Amino acid sequence: MNKPLPRRKNQRAAAIAVVVFLGFLGCAAVFATQWVWGVVTSFWDSAEPAGWESTSAELTVAVSPVMAPVLADLAEAFNEQGRRAADGQSLVVTVVAYDPEELVGAAAQSTPPFQAISPDSSLWLAQLEQRWAEGDESVSPEGGAAIPLAQRRIGTQLRYAVSPIVLAAWEDVALRLGWPDRPVSWQDVQRRATQDPNFKWSHASTRHASGLLAVLAEFYAGAGLTRGLTVAAATDPATLAYVQAVEGTVRFYGENEDQVVERLRQQGREFLDLFVAQERLVIDWNRQHPEQQLVALYPAEGTLWTDHPLALLELGQRPGEPGVTANQRQTFQSFADYLTSEPSQRQLLAAGYRPADLSIALDEPGSPFADTIRVDWRQPQTTLQMPPAEVVAVVSDFWYYTKRPTNVYLVVDTSGSMEGSKLRSTQNALKSFLEQIRGSRDRVGIVEFGSDLKSYTQLATLDDAARQQLNRQIDRMNADGGTALNDAVYAATTALQQENQADAINAVVVMTDGLENQSQRSLRDLRNLLAGTPELPIVVFTIGFGEDADTATLEEMARIGGGQYRRASEADLDELYRIISTYF
């Protein structure tokens, strides 16, 4: 899943070096030690690395998915220059795309498959250090005092790209919200969504930078602050009530901006009216879709930025762990210099990021910020201060109590064709899904079907007792019978309509490996059922498991349910259920 991106010649490079904006001065104290350049020396004698040759000059960089194509273009141009180390080894950069959770998990291992990381936000560096701190004892250099390993695991680093978090809206939607005459606030969005049941807006879950930074901005707005957010201010009842009011109007959550853009390409205006994203996404979309433009709205209360750090991992600090080679260090430093050079800075500005080189005017001729009001280089007027790591952790936890609650039915095919490893993979994936749902108000039910409805567990708040009950039901699943797909989805949808909880995200997640062959209900019946309650939207996600699944039926089912269709193999079913859980 995480494979090196193909190298592409003669394509537009796009990534930017970081800006030391005036707005970042307010958070300088927080990042002062984090952003100092320097090389941390390993306290262990360097043995020959197990993962790469001791003279290797190839630097593998794990990168966030949105930035990965951009950084791959820059890496390709860098590699073509043919730079070499003193021993003649070619300095080579390879880019591999990772989602944030995967990146943090892999980097926390003793032998990660890369030597440097570039997540979309330094938030993930803090999480990585926390992961190391949780499981690592202090390590003592010879004759020295013990130093926690987590404090020495991230070495040389820089920020090479910055983009503010904005509310991306279709132009007519932005006009109705008051743009460009006045700044648009979070309350404006909440008010519009409350007044118009057809208004759809979304942000990614807090497992992605844009989602977490948006939630932090909401907590700041609720507390009436632009800097100095504390745990006490974030957990004040008035702050929580404000955030809950805003979050209560979110149509659903989801994955990162790259997935939103893909859905926009497929569905356009039918998908969302407004969503949270990095500013550069608006620039990129408008460049590719001049007939249907987006507007970047900068929240009136202020916003935060994605800062795209590039960091070298200080590997080799445990006995037997492969260390970063001297040549790889040289490759890192050389590539960092390349990213911050003037030609790269101008290329990255062309891609929609804001450059670190303050001598480059954002509104100069040819800049994507010039001759348009849909993005505004003078915004945001207010940059919020990044709070300390402990506040970020509290906000992330409390979001599960303030976000929109979820009612979701898992509709599971256990027909005869699911016997064996397919059923075991499904059971594992279902349990993984349950583990991801953390909200105290979220409810989950399961509909198991074969030739008819085999087992039906009504919605239950997902506390420890409910998790155990659902896990027992999953363990009891047995593969036999035909495939009454339509009947099962119809039953789950009917149950959600009877609940009639309009303030919740109501969803059906259905998985099947075969063709519909037993139902009394048709897709037309399901379409009519969903259309009968427009005031209670129900989102339908469908998963085609294996090669024999009825793709056409599942795609249509997802379309009429305003959801998504995904195909899965046994190898990635667990990961797919984990991804779908981010929507809730």
Q: pLDDT tens-digit profile of 541-552?
A: 999 998 889 999
The two three-digit tokens of residue 4, written as one number: 């090196």
Distance (Å, whole) CA 515 – CA 552 = 10
| Mean pLDDT, the chain, whole residue set | 87
pLDDT recorded at residue 561: 94
Residue-range domains of the chain with CATH: 22-162+307-350 (3.40.190.10), 164-305+382-401 (3.40.190.10), 405-581 (3.40.50.410)
Greater confidence (410 vs 132) lies with 410
Q: Looking at residues 57-75, what average pLDDT do you find?
A: 95
Greater confidence (416 vs 11) lies with 416
* Each residue's pLDDT tens digit, 478-495: 999 999 999 999 999 999
Query: Using an 8 Å Cβ cutoff, are 495 and 507 in contact?
Result: no
Q: Looking at residues 445-461, what average pLDDT do you find?
A: 95
Q: Looking at residues 377-396, what average pLDDT do you find?
A: 95
What is the share, in percent, of the chain residues with pLDDT greater than 70? Answer: 88
**Lowest-confidence pick of 19-23, 258-262, 410-414:** 19-23
Greater confidence (17 vs 61) lies with 61
- The CA-based angle 144-145-150, given to 5 degrees, is 115
Q: Looking at residues 203-215, what average pLDDT do you find?
A: 95
Which band of pLDDT confidence, cut at 50, 70 and 90, is reported for residue 138?
Answer: very low
Q: Looking at residues 201-224, what average pLDDT do you find?
A: 96
* Each residue's pLDDT tens digit, 236-249: 999 999 999 999 99
Which band of pLDDT confidence, cut at 50, 70 and 90, is reported for residue 38?
Answer: very low
pLDDT above 60: residue 27:
no
Which band of pLDDT confidence, cut at 50, 70 and 90, is reported for residue 23?
Answer: very low
Which band of pLDDT confidence, cut at 50, 70 and 90, is reported for residue 136?
Answer: low
- The CA-based angle 102-4-305, given to 5 degrees, is 55
Query: Using an 8 Å Cβ cutoff, are 485 and 417 in contact?
Result: no
- Nearest one of 471, 466, 539 to 508, comparing CA atoms: 539
pLDDT above 80: residue 269:
yes
The two three-digit tokens of residue 465, written as one number: 């007792």
pLDDT recorded at residue 152: 64
Q: What is the pTM of this model?
A: 0.85
pLDDT recorded at residue 141: 47
pLDDT recorded at residue 309: 94
Distance (Å, whole) CA 147 – CA 254 = 39
pLDDT above 50: residue 41:
no
* Each residue's pLDDT tens digit, 80-123: 999 999 999 999 999 999 999 899 999 988 789 999 999 999 99
Which band of pLDDT confidence, cut at 50, 70 and 90, is reported for residue 327?
Answer: very high
* Each residue's pLDDT tens digit, 507-537: 999 999 999 999 999 999 999 999 999 889 9
**CA dist list (Å): 249 to 240, 286, 487, 563:** 15, 27, 31, 18
**CA dist list (Å): 421 to 290, 480, 510, 543, 547:** 48, 14, 19, 17, 15
**CA dist list (Å): 33 to 43, 107, 157, 277:** 20, 21, 11, 28
pLDDT above 60: residue 338:
yes
Phi, psi at 100, each rounded to 5°: -55, -50
Sign of CA dihedral 559, 564, 569, 574: negative
